[in-house]
Structure 1
Amino acid sequence: MSLLSCVEVETHSNPVASVIWLHGLGADGHDFEPIVPVLNLPANLPVRFVFPHSPKIPVTINGGMVMPAWYDILDMSIERKVDATQLVANAKSIHQLIDREIERGVPADKIIIAGFSQGGAVALEAALSYPKALAGLMAMSTYFATKDSVEVSAANASLDTLVMHGSQDPVVPPSLGEQLVNALKQKGFTPAFKSYPMPHAVCQEQIADISAWLQQRLA
């Protein structure tokens, strides 16, 4: 399997940590690229941000239109019927990107997996099932599509997890964010949860919180 195409941004030369950050439905790897300079990470913590591009596939809820997507969404009910086979396959593609970061000299425990919306669902599967201990998992405006099937690795059974959600999100309702937190707790995790008065988006207060969390996890 060939590696996913990615956008890469290094905050300073010789990165000692990496963040692999997955975009949402219909976006691409450039979507969160502008957030890197706004995080204001310190010069003594050089980080490589890896923003993979998802494949382009037909998406049922959008009339079968071909677009960037990590997996097909079959209906938009609160249960979120998705193509779990595609989701898991792309989680394995993220494992390949983690492996590459390790080959490039970044230890697994200095690698964070992040994802927004659809990308968050893949990030959850990828991080929790990865066989080496990671630095953390950031799930933004998302839901736990594979909560009943994910095989959590022993290495990441207590992974630091940050869940962030907008209280006015019309796309992924806040209740799905709450279900995600509860599902993680049932699996023995102690996720941090932050809610923001925003729709399906990212806000300035959240960016400041992300910066602080990344520095804490990667220092």
Structure 2
Amino acid sequence: MISGSPDLLPSIELETAAHPTRTIIWMHGLGADGSDFVPVVDELALPSIPAVRFVFPHAPTRPVSINRGMVMRAWYDYDIVDGAKLQENMATLRESERAVEALVNHETQRGVKPENIVLAGFSQGGALALFAGLRYPEKLAGIMALSCYLPAPQTLAEEAHSANFGIPIFMAHGVGDNVIPITLAAASRQQLLGTGYPVEWREYGMAHTVCREEIHDIRNWLQRVLA
């Protein structure tokens, strides 16, 4: 099912059973769209109780500096500065943060409590899940950050909301990732751990993708945080 309203990002929705009481909002990577992770729902094979709604939003299209201004679906614009450092366009990052907040609020209006909502994402979508989830003003169930990093790390201490200081975080990365180096993700993990966040970390022998072993670990983590 494709949903959307003038106030919400268009999204693909799937439910494991009728009347869901849990929601996973799953953001795709740069240049993809909401359909990218739809097949994962069947692979996860989550039990029908409690019923879960998957929401796969489509990012807006925008020029992306790191790709020489090419227009594509992107949660935010960014580039590399000083030869290696990622620099996010904060206006576009905060725009997407507000869009994610609107999706969470929409789920609460449908009867799903924030504490039963997971923010998830792959690559740039995972970075957005971290950025938006750690700043959300009500307790969420968890954040799943796949093959990504913590964007704008210098703003976290000031902007993180106390409601989610103890939020479970699942971070997973491929040791052969040549898009987002695992060293960058590991540095993000260390910052989160140093700030007191409980991070469950997994490494896999893969590149910038998702593997079967990872799907198994995601399933187990989701069952715990959404129990």
Bin for the TM-score computed over the shorter chain: over 0.9
The 5-angstrom pairing of residues 53-132 of structure 1 reads 53-75=58-80, 77-132=83-138
Q: Distance in 1 between matches of 2:124 and 2:143?
A: 15
After superposing the two structures, state which structure 1 stretch, 85-94 or 19-28, moved more: 85-94
Counterpart-to-counterpart distance in 2, 1:39 and 1:78: 36
Task: Show structure 1 runs of 4+ deviating over 2 A.
Answer: 75-78
Is the aligned partner of 1:41 residue 2:21?
A: no
Asked if the contact 1:88–1:122 (Cα under 8 Å) also holds between the matched residues in 2, the reply is no
Q: Which of 12, 25, 30 in structure 1 is aligned with 2:17?
A: 12
Matching of residue 133 in structure 1 with residue 133 in structure 2: no
**Secondary structure, aligned partner of 1:5:** strand
Q: CA deviation at 1:190?
A: 2.0
Deviation of 1:75 after TM superposition, in Å, equals 2.3
Q: What is the match of residue 165 of structure 1? A: 173
TM-score norm. by structure 2 comes to 0.93
Amino acid at match of 1:74: D
**Post-superposition offset of 1:45:** 2.1
**Matching of residue 180 in structure 1 with residue 180 in structure 2:** no
Q: 2:191 is aligned with what amino acid?
A: A
Q: CA deviation at 1:65?
A: 1.1
Give structure 1 stretches of 5+ with no counterpart.
Answer: none
SS at match of 2:46: coil
Q: Which amino acid aligns with 1:210?
A: I
Structure-2 separation of matches of 1:45 and 1:6: 22
Conserved 8 A contact 1:11-1:37? no
Which structure shows the higher strand fraction? Answer: 2
Aligned in 2, Cα 1:131/1:17: closer, same or farther, shift over 3 Å?
Answer: same
Residue 78 (structure 1) shift:
3.4
Cα distance in 1 for residues equivalent to 2:35 and 2:78: 22
Question: What SS does the corresponding residue of 1:181 show, helix, strand or coil?
Answer: helix
Percent identity at matched positions?
A: 43
Q: TM-score, normalised by structure 1?
A: 0.97
Greater helix share, structure number: 2
1:209 pairs with 201, 217, 224, which one? 217
Letter matched to residue 179 of structure 2: V
